[in-house]
Amino acid sequence: MLIELDLVTKIYNQGHANEVRALTDVTLAIEENTMVCLRGASGSGKSTLLSIIGCVFPPTSGRAAIAGKQLSRLPDRFMTIHRRQNIGFIFQQFNVLPELTVLDNIGLPLLPLGVAPAIRKKRATMLMERLGIAHRADFPARQISGGELQRVAIARALINNQPIILADEPTAHLDTRLSLEFMQIMDDLKTEGKTVIIASHDQLITESPSLDRIIDVKDGRIHHVP
């Protein structure tokens, strides 16, 4: 299994008055080369679940093994390295840097890895051509459309060739056509062997035939794992 969670619990602000139990005893396994949707309403815990899978933070208790590493056992700096090598993120707000060019935004994750500028440019250019945004390479990110921004975010998630792609509400700001386009790209990635996990309550995604599984998240618990 690429991702294995066993009795994972996540509590924010533990021991304080504003303590929030976001996940409770979540047990889950996801194979590689699958496309999975975490479905649930806002506040259900799906973003927390996605963050744990994405090595953003460890669980409060329980075992989380991502790409062969015991996440809850992993010291912070190793978790960062593991995340860089294995996880590509696509955020709801895209989180691109508006003043940087499209090319620079896409190559950004390679900066802390010390990849040479020429190689960064080469890899980013390949991805831009593949996603149809090569003509925007030198445009500042603030000057491109929403659909193009989304492709920049996808390209950035793929730049280090990570095996796991996570997307948190990726179609929240997109129209139907762009949402369908997004799912097509995700389907292509799955065909290439990547594992795609999307947290969403958008029907366009949850009813997509590309999905292998839908996991319902409600009140911090997994309710349905077909």
The alpha carbon of 74 is separated from its chain's Cα centroid by a whole number of angstroms, namely 20
> Partners of 195 in the beta sheet?
164
> H or E segment at 204?
helix 203-206
- Gap between the Cα atoms of 136 and 144, Å rounded: 8
Q: Which is nearer to other proteins, 71 or 222 (CB)?
A: 71
- Check residue 220 for interaction with other proteins (CB under 8 A): no
Judged by CB under 8 A, the residue of 24, 27, 72, 125 near other proteins is 72
Stretch that binds other proteins, among 6-14, 30-38, 39-47, 105-113 (CB under 8 A): 6-14
For the sheet with 20-30, list strands across it: 20-30, 3-12, 61-66, 69-70
Residue recorded with tokens 């950035």: 156
119 binds other proteins (CB under 8 A): no
Minimum CB distance to other proteins smaller for 72 or for 210? 72
Among residues 13, 76, 118, 226, the one that binds other proteins under rule CB under 8 A: 76
7 versus 41: smaller Cβ distance to other proteins: 7
Among 12, 33, 34, 69, binds other proteins (CB under 8 A): 69
Among the listed residues 32, 68, 73, 112, the single contact to other proteins using CB under 8 A: 73
- 78 touching other proteins, by CB under 8 A: yes
* Residue with Cβ nearer other proteins (76 or 138): 76
DSSP string, 31-87: -SS-EEEEE--TTSSHHHHHHHHTTSS--SEEEEEETTEEGGG--HHHHHHHHHHHE
If binding is defined by CB under 8 A, does position 6 make contact with other proteins?
yes
Which residues in 7-66 contact other proteins (CB under 8 A)? 7, 9, 14, 58-63
CA-based end-to-end distance of the chain = 16
What single-letter amino acid sits at 5? L
Minimal distance in Å, beta carbon 79 to other proteins? 9
Q: What are the tokens at 57? A: 């933070």
Binding interface with other proteins (CB under 8 A): 6-7, 9, 14, 58-63, 69, 72-76, 78
